[in-house]
Structure formats: structure tokens, C-alpha cells
Amino acid sequence: MTPEAIILNGTWTERLILAGACVLISLVIFIYIRFSKKRWISILAESLNYHRFHLNVIVREKTADDKNREVARAMLWAIDKQFPVDCREGLGFKTFLKAYTGQKNSLLIMSEVFYQVARYYYQIDKRVPRLMYTLHSTLSRRTIIESIFAPLALPYMDIFLLLTVAGIARSGKSRMYRDFSRQIRKGD
């Protein structure tokens, strides 16, 4: 019998079983989202620390030219100054709308960095674009898991992380999140 048939023509016992199953499924989904969200927040916080460290290295390098330092400082500004403001104002779908409409936020700063890297690509150190792509991914993921799309995004992110652990997905971002996930589990 389908759920519609049970609701319309079923006995009270069948209806109670269906209602209990719905409550149980909702509870499992709620618990999954809660724990997955906490785990991803810690993975993404570790990713922000990673980027902060490597961008500071670029800023302090004596061999780095002014354009590399400028781009690295802009990304550090997005991490250290603007992202905490975004968190206080509340992350979520409105952060994407603010970036789209040109209001100041960390994703808009990353868009401007992307433009600078594309414009001066041959002058930019090869580490900078990699850091830019992974930092943009980190900030976007952190924003998405605080939005109404979290129930869809978290399973996608978890499945992609499992594919990376299994060795099927091989992109740089996924390997980075895999390594941070392992570090967090080990307690390093």
C-alpha cells in the first residue's frame, strides 16, 4: 500500500506506523544534518587556517613581487577582516545575493581577487591561483552550509568526501578537505 492509500483507507494502526516512520526519518535527517554541519564547520575552519598560513608566507617572502603580495593581502583581508563580519551578519543565501548585488562581503572580495589573478596571470606566482580556488571553495561551502540549501549541500559534500577517501575523486580541493577531515579525526 502506498502512503496515500494508508492515509485515506488505512486503519488507525497503519496510520500510526506511517506517522512514526515519518517522525523517525525526520529525526534521523535532523541528527545527520546537525552532526555533518558541525564536522564541516571544523573542516572548513582548518582550511581557513591553512590558507591564512600560506598567504602569510607569500606576503612575507622577500622574493615575492608587489602583485603577489597585493593579491595575498586581499585574500587575507577576506579571511581575517571580512569573513568574521559576514559571520556576525549571518551567512546563508543572502551572502550570495549581497555578492551578486555588489555589497561588500568575502565572496565579492574573492571575485575581485579572481579578476586580478586572471589579469596578471603571467606575473602571479603559481601558488596564488591554487590558494585562490581552494579559499573560494572554502568560503562558498561555509556560506552554503549556513543557508537553506544545507540539507542538499551536506550530503553532496559528504558523498564527494567519501569518493575522495576511496580515491575516485582526485581534485585538489577534495584532497585538501579529506586531509583536514583526517586531521580532525586524529585530533591533531
User: What is the pTM assigned to this prediction?
Assistant: 0.79
Q: What is the mean pLDDT of residues 66-93?
A: 85
> Which pLDDT score, from 0 to 100, does residue 188 have?
53
| Residue matched to cell numbers 602571479 | 124
Question: Which residue did the predictor score with more confidence, 14 or 26?
Answer: 26
| Residue matched to cell numbers 556576525 | 88
> Which pLDDT score, from 0 to 100, does residue 170 have?
67
Residue 8 confidence class, pLDDT cut points 50, 70, 90:
low
The cell numbers describing 117, all together, are: 589573478
The helix or strand, by DSSP H or E, that contains position 121, with its residue range, turns out to be none
Question: Is pLDDT of 93 > 80?
Answer: no
Between the CA of residue 154 and those of 46, 61, 151, 159, what are the distances in Å? 17, 37, 6, 8
> Own/partner pairs for 164-172, CB < 8 Å, 24+ apart?
172/130, 172/133, 172/134
Distance separating alpha carbons of residues 161 and 177, to the nearest angstrom: 7
- 96-100, 112-116, 149-153, range with the lowest pLDDT: 96-100
Q: Where are the alpha helices (DSSP H) in 80-165?
A: 83-89, 93-101, 106-119, 127-144, 150-165
pLDDT in tens, 20-38: 888 999 999 999 999 999 9
Question: Is pLDDT of 57 > 70?
Answer: yes
Q: What is the mean pLDDT of residues 43-61?
A: 91
